[in-house]
Amino acid sequence: MVFRKLPGVSASGMGLRLSQKFVFLLFLSGLVTLCFGALFFLPDSVRLKRIFLSKTESQPVTVGSENDVREHLKKGAKDPEHLRGITSAKGETSTKLKALGRKPSVTNEAKTDKKVAGGEALEDMTLSRSKTDSASKDEKVTSSSNQGANTDTSFDYNKFKKCLLKPPLGIEHGKPSDPQTLQRREKVKEMFKRKVMVLGEKLLPAFNTPTGIPRGVINLGSGTSWSWGWASAGSSILAEFGTLHLEFVHLSELSNNDIYTEKVMNIRKLLNKIEKPHGLYPNFLSPVSGNWVQHHVSIGGLGDSFYEYLIKSYLMSDKTDEEAKKMYYSALEAIEANLVQKSPGGLTYMAEWRGGILDHKMGHLACFSGGMVVIGADDGAPEKRQHYLDLAAEITHTCHESYSRSATKLGPEAFRFDGGAEATATRLSDRYYILRPEVIESYMYMWRLTHDPKYREWGWEAVEALEQHCRVEAGFSGIRDVYAQTVSHDNMQQSFFLSETLKYLYLLFSDDDLLPLEDWVFNTEAHPLPVVRKSCLQGEGGTHDKTTSE
């Protein structure tokens, strides 16, 4: 086969002379440049831009002000999770839009406003729908939770029901009329009765220490237990081993097995025996020696729920546990003498105690103490009843101030009373809010026991702040700085937000006969446990028989 050279074709087979190639490439590059550049002068087209822009630039972000985006990019906040926290200058949560990682042009400003307005309208519809769904779910959860007291045949619920001072929730206890639904509910009940007894047995090896004080962590498979690595000298934490009493006593009632009560009573026996500095209970105790490891006392983190469980153990026993009562009022006396302080501005707060030196800081966790003091006001010395009511009100007022003095009307993780500051966080590391319930918990108890309308008003202020600053597309998120006008979300919804924060808010706006405090005690995670009136259970009747029949 013979090949001939065509005119203008080089021997190398490249096809064009050098001058022709140069002209052709110049024309081609100009055409590409013109076409690519024209894309950015045409109306927005996400489909076309995706062809040329990287995936990183087309991630969804929360659109705020132009300066907000630029500032976050300067700080290196390129990840979409961080940019999602950017909001409008008013502090309102912005609508999430799929936007490019570049600032909008001035010529498209009017169009951008229309898009945002449309997005906000869509978000309003979404929020309305989600509220309806949430309300429906809350009703189902409440109905389901009411079955907890009737989960074991060894516990005589009928006798217990007669001993209630007020009617329990629901005439039929939430029993569905549909046979298939009833069958399914019974299956769930059987499963739960099993997630309870087996778990209680699996926890017992943690108590196998020289003192009987349980270690903080246990492997449920092997039964091996150990202390937290960060705990001082392998110690156990007061707020952990001291916050088992309600649940273990109740488990003994349900299972007819006294082993659980014996374990927690042994803890109390040891605490009564050892010396307490100034009557205070430090946060760290050795499970080996039974001695305090360091003298750090706090009504907030590491110590808080121990004191709460002393007064609640007394109340749950139908006020027969005199030892718990004595321990609580003795501890409260020591707290007042050593920790309760008054600021120059007249705010009452709970300081922390470190080896005899006061740290004038109060954590959000310590704000439960207003509710703790008020539920025990009636059972102390009669002459001190009004004093306890006043103390509870003052502490709750201080915690409300920590909310009202922030830009978001939500409280910081901790606030201080030194250096001229009062009820405000002075350290950047203390400015966050993670949907904690303690302040609202105190509002609920103060309302129940005083019926002062301000507590409901304060609770509603919290609801509005949560809606404005914490509500996001998928639920509710904590925020990184309660003092910032433009909030940044931490993208986390803590479990206690549902079990405690929203539950206490719901109870705050409910009548007192919903889970009445005469018959129910809330544990530290806001789960209701029944007051067990043994003297009534041993008889034939109860106060409930006198008011209603079922």
For 274, half-sphere exposure in the C-beta direction (CA atoms, 13 angstrom radius) is 19
Residues in the chain: 550
Give residue 532's region: left, alpha or beta (phi > 0; psi -120 to 50): beta
Residues annotated in a binding site: 524
Annotated binding residues for Ca(2+): 524
Distance CA 268, CA 28 (A): 87
> What angle, rounded to 10 degrees, do the helices at 438-450 and 454-465 form?
150
User: What does 491-517 look like in DSSP terms, one character per residue?
Assistant: ----THIIIIIHHHHHHHTS-TTSS-T
| Residue 530 DSSP class | E
Burial category of 344 from C-beta neighbours within 10 Å (exposed 0-12, middle 13-18, buried 19 and up): exposed
Which residues lie closer than 8 Å to 297 by C-beta, 6 or more apart? Answer: 277, 280, 281, 282, 283, 303, 338, 339, 352, 353, 354
Q: Are strands 361-363 and 348-350 parallel, antiparallel or unpaired?
A: unpaired
Can you tell me which residue has the tokens 């409910």?
510
The span from the CA of 202 to the CA of 298, in Å, is 30
Tokens of 110: 């009017």
Q: Residue 115's CB: how many other CB atoms inside 10 A?
A: 17
**CB environment 307-322: b (16+ within 10 A), e (fewer):** bbbbbbbbbbbeeebe
Whose tokens are 């509870």? That residue is 392
Distance of CA 455 to the CA centre of its chain: 20
3-state percent helix, strand, coil for the chain, nearest multiple of 5 = 50, 10, 40
Cβ atoms < 10 Å from Cβ of 189: 16
> CA 430, 433, 438, 444 torsion: positive or negative?
positive
CB-count burial class (<10 Å; 0-12, 13-18, 19+) for 174: middle
Active site residues: 413
Cα–Cα nearest to 98, from 143, 149, 63: 63
The gap between the terminal CA atoms of the chain, to the nearest Å, is: 108
Give the count of beta carbons closer than 10 Å to the beta carbon of residue 355: 10
Query: Which of 345, 348, 440 lies closest to 391, judged by CA?
Result: 348
Distance CA 221, CA 228 (A): 18
- Dist. CA 18–CA 331, nearest whole Å: 96
